[in-house]
Structure 1
Amino acid sequence: MNLRPKNQRGASFLGLLFVVVVLGCVGVVAAQVIPTLIEYQAIDKAANQAKEGTTVPEVRAIFDRVQAVEDFTAVSGKDLDVQRSGNRMVVAYAYEREIHLVGPAFLVLRYKGQSR
């Protein structure tokens, strides 16, 4: 009588361990990236509110007020590129975020946007 199955099916322990390690690493990186995405959304919201100003100093002041409420530090009013396009203001911004991964490895995220 042969008790061993001819074709085994399923995942081995090492295969399962490899999948768990990869998912864990992806989860750790995602947990560090998600706050930067939330910060980007807050900056975009502030830029869209600041475009309602009529002068460059007024646009920067509106942006700084929203920045104080939303509590982000990556961009301030003085970092904005404010231009007039026709009869409306266009507020543009760009910044970088670095996330330390391991040893000398960093993940650099470059964010760039403008008011709509």
Structure 2
Amino acid sequence: MNNRQRGISFIGVLFVVGVLAFAGVIAAQAFPTVVEFQSITKAATKAKDGASVTEIRTIFDKAAQVDDIKSITGKDLEVSKEGDKTVVSFAYNKEIHIAGPTFLLIKYAGRSK
């Protein structure tokens, strides 16, 4: 007799759905941080055209107001020269609360293009 059933059990389905739901919640919380990182990179690239460090930071702060950037400000930027080019770099951390005392830490670092 070959009457063995194959497939996933109801408990298995619940487990898979739970894992996918957890991953979806984490992804939904992480996605806005990725969008903000792209906005910061765009603002840093725009700001590198400034003539002085103060002007670069002011340009970045104005772009940050338009793009609603809250993670860093102009004073958090590192401005340097590579040859004859101005390079604006930045680094910051974002924490996503998971449950209780558990957090997901995402470290972002970038520079102007």
Which range, TM-score by smaller chain? Answer: over 0.9
Q: Structure 2, unaligned stretches of length 5 or more?
A: none
1:6 and 2:12 aligned: no
1:110 corresponds to which of 98, 107, 112:
107
Local SS of the residue matching 2:40: helix
CA shift for structure 1 position 10:
2.0
CA contact (8 A) 1:54 1:89 kept: no
Local SS of the residue matching 1:75: coil
Structure number with greater Rg is 1
Q: Structure 1, unaligned stretches of length 5 or more?
A: none
1:23 and 2:20 aligned: yes
How large is the RMSD of aligned CA atoms in angstroms? 1.2
- Specify the alignment match of 2:36 in structure 1: 39
Runs of 4+ in 1 over 4 A off after TM superposition: none
CA shift for structure 1 position 87:
1.7
Using the TM superposition, name which of 81-90 and 40-49 deviates more: 81-90
Q: Matches of 1:69 and 1:100 in 2, distance apart? A: 27
Local SS of the residue matching 2:12: helix
How far does the alpha carbon of each residue in 1:86-111 deviate from its partner, in whole angstroms, 9 at most, with x for none? 22210010101111111111101110
- Give the TM-score of the pair, scaled to structure 1: 0.92
How far does the alpha carbon of each residue in 1:58-103 deviate from its partner, in whole angstroms, 9 at most, with x for none? 1111111110100111011011000122222100101011111111
Local SS of the residue matching 1:65: helix
Q: Matches of 1:84 and 1:56 in 2, distance apart? A: 11
Using the TM superposition, name which of 54-63 and 14-23 deviates more: 54-63
